Amino acid sequence: MKVTQRSDYTFKYNKKLGRHGWLRLTPAYSVKLVKEIIDNIRGSSFILDPFSGTATTGLVAAEHGLSAHCFDINPFLIWLGNAKCRHYSNDELSFLKAGIELSLAECKEFVKQDHWLPDIHNITRWWCEHTLKVLAALRQALVNQFGEPKKEDVSALAWIAFCRLIIETSAAAFNHVSLSFHDEVTKYEIEQIEFWYLKIVDAIAQSASEDIAGSATVYFADCREPVSINDVKYSHIVTSPPYPNRISYIRELRPYMYWTKFLDTASEAGELDWKAIGGTWGVATSRLQNWESNGVELSDSLKRVVSQILETEEKNALLMANYVWKYFHDMHLHLQNLRSNLKKGAVLSYIVGNSSFYGVQVHTEKLLEDSLKSLGFTNIGSKVIRKRNSKKELFEYCVYAIYEDRGKYEPRFFGAKQPKGEQLALL
C-alpha cells in the first residue's frame, strides 16, 4: 500500500459528525485519526491537547467517556471548543428554540433599518449589500434575545449557527488548504436566510441534545509557558500543533471572529497571530524580520536547515529562515514546559506536517524528534500518516514519545505503509 492523500484523515471526514461538523477549520484534524489514537486509552486516563483548535481531541475524548483538558491562545476557539463539549439540558434547548423564533420575528422588522456591520476588509467580496443587510438585521435580533456572543451557555449555539450561516451564504470557498473566493456573490432574500438559519439551528440543537459521557474543557493558555490546571498530570498528549507552513488560522477564522466581535480590527488579528506558534499574518511577518532567539539551544540539524534557507539568497530568505527557527524554538519551549504536566509513562502523539522553503526540505518530524531527545523523552519515533498534496512531497506524520521510559512502545499503524529507512526524508 503506498502513501496516499486519505481525505478520511482530514477535516473533511468530520463534516457530518454531529458536534464535530458545527463549524469547520481547515487545519482541524480528522475525528477518525483521533479515535485511532485514543481507542486503547482507559477510563482512568487524562488527556491533554495543548493546541486545541476546534477541540476535536477534547470532543472525541469526551464522547469516549474520557476526561480531557485542552489549551489554546485564540479566545474564539476556546469559546467554540467549550460550546462543542458542553452538556445541554432539554430546558436549555427549549429556551434556545423559543429565543430563535422571537429573533426571526424581530428580524423582519429590523431589516428595514441599518445595523452594525463588522469591519471586514473588502466585505462585499464575501456578501452582497443586500445579503449583508439581512444578516445584520438577524444579528441585531439575536443580540436582543441572547446578548452579544462570548457567553458560555446555550446562547452560544445561536451564535455558532449564525457563524455557520454567514460562511454558507458567503462567496468563500474552502476547497484548498486556505480559503479562496468564488467570482460572484449570491443575493439572499430574508426568507432564504430564515430558512437556512432554522435548518442549521435544528441540526445543531439535535446534536447538542445527544449527551456525551465524558468531559472536556478548553482553557486559555500559551503552551510555551508553564501551565497547570488544578495540578492535573496527564497520561496522554494527543494534539496537532501548527505546521511550519505559514498557514494562518486567523485568516480563515476572520469572518467568524469579526461577526462575533472576538476581533475588531486588522491590527488585533496580527497581534493574535504573532502570539500563535507559526503565526505569519500582518505584524507577525514584520516582527519576524528582526526576531532573535533568547538562548534556547537547538539541534545541529535545525541550524543546518536554517543556514540552507539563508544560503538560497532569495529575497525573503532571512524572513523564512527566522520563521523556521522561531517555529522550532517555540515548539521546543512548549515541550520543555510540558514535562511538568506529565505523569510518568505519559504517551505523546503529535500530528505534524513537513514543509519546504525555496527547495530546502524542513523535516518537522525529525526536528521535533531532536527536541524530544534533548529534553529526555524516550521511545521517540514518527510514522507517516498520509500525503498532503498531490504535487509537492508534503506528508503528515505522527511523532510519538514517552515521558520517562515505560518499556517498549510503538503506536498504532495509521493505514499508510511506512517507507523504509530514510527513503521518505529524501523524496
Binding footprint of ligand SAM on the chain (CB under 6 A): 25, 27-29, 51, 53-54, 56, 71-74, 77, 222-224, 240-242, 249, 276-277
214 vs 242 by CB, closer to ligand SAM: 242
CB distance 423 to 7 below 8 Å: no
Q: Kindly state the smallest distance separating residue 312's Cβ from ligand SAM, in Å.
A: 27
Decide whether 29 or 110 has the Cβ nearer to ligand SAM. Answer: 29
Instruction: Give residue number: closest CB to ligand SAM.
Output: 53
Closest approach of ligand SAM to the CB of residue 356, in Å: 19
Could you tell me the smallest distance in angstroms from the CB atom of residue 190 to ligand SAM? 33
Q: CB-wise, 140 or 285, nearer to ligand SAM?
A: 285
Return the C-alpha cell found at 117: 456591520
Closest CA to 218 of 341, 71, 80, 83: 71
Amino acid letter, 179: L
Partners of 309 in beta bridges: none
Shortest CB 106 distance to ligand SAM, Å: 34
* In the complex, minimum distance from the CB of residue 416 to ligand SAM, in angstroms, rounded to a whole number: 19
Q: Residue 130 or 287: which CB sits closer to ligand SAM?
A: 287
Size of the chain, expressed as the number of residues it contains: 427
Q: Which grid cell is 80?
A: 467554540
Q: Which amino acid is at 97?
A: K
Min dist. Cβ of residue 180 to ligand SAM (A): 20
Compute φ and ψ for 180, nearest 5 degrees. -135, -175
Q: Which CB, 244 or 415, lies closer to ligand SAM? A: 244
| Nearest residue to 151 via CA among 79, 256, 100, 81 | 79
Question: Given the complex with ligand SAM, which of 195 and 220 has the nearer CB atom?
Answer: 220
Residue closer to ligand SAM, measured from CB, 29 or 281: 29
Strand partners, 340: none
Residue pair 223/334 in contact (Cβ under 8 Å)? The answer is yes
Residue 169 and residue 131 in contact, taking contact as beta carbons nearer than 8 Å = yes
Q: Is the dihedral of CA 108, 110, 113, 114 positive or negative?
A: negative
* Minimum distance of ligand SAM from residue 239's CB (angstroms): 7
Outline where 24-115 has alpha helix (H).
31-38, 56-63, 75-85, 90-110
- Give the span between the Cα atoms of 421 and 379, in whole angstroms: 17
